[in-house]
Amino acid sequence: MKSRETLLRLKRFQVDEKRRRVSQIEMMIADFHRMANDLDREIQAEEARAGIADPAHFAYPTYAKAALGRRDNLRQSADNLQGQLEEAKAELQEAFEDMKKVEILDDRERASERAAEAARDQATMDAIGLRSRA
């Protein structure tokens, strides 16, 4: 009985951990996209200030060029995290399925224990009834 409860608690903990991991990755991806969009706005403002929008131009602003590199790195990191997110979601699904299997097994075992207890109670009541008739 205790080992079953421990196993069920372990499975729930694993599902919660996987859920937290998925959430963390999603937040990181959202942060990277937000930062990349902020850099896009800064790049556009710098290009407008300099009047040059071509990164290949010799007078292209140094800050805008550096911001382009950072923005591209952020987007690449977000793309890499997308693969990790898919893996984490698959792991979460697997952990959830394992937890459900344990819960179903636990429900079945509890039902059989209740049925056995009800049968014992009924046998005890029958014995009491037979003794009172005798």
Q: Which CATH number fits domain 1-99: 1.25.40, 1.10.287, 3.40.50, 1.20.1330?
A: 1.10.287
Residue by residue, pLDDT tens for the chain (134 residues) are 578 889 889 999 999 999 999 999 999 999 999 999 999 999 999 999 999 999 999 999 999 999 999 999 999 999 999 999 999 999 999 999 999 999 998 888 888 888 888 888 888 887 887 777 76
Q: Structural domain boundaries of the chain?
A: 1-99
pLDDT at 118: 85
pLDDT at 33: 97
pLDDT at 134: 61
Please state, in angstroms and as integers, the Cα–Cα distance from residue 88 to each residue in 24, 26, 28, 91, following that order: 10, 10, 14, 5
Q: Are 36 and 75 in contact (CB under 8 A)?
A: yes
Tell if the pTM clears 0.85, that is, is over it: no
pLDDT at 19: 97
Q: Are 61 and 37 in contact (CB under 8 A)?
A: no
Give the three-state DSSP class for 54.
coil
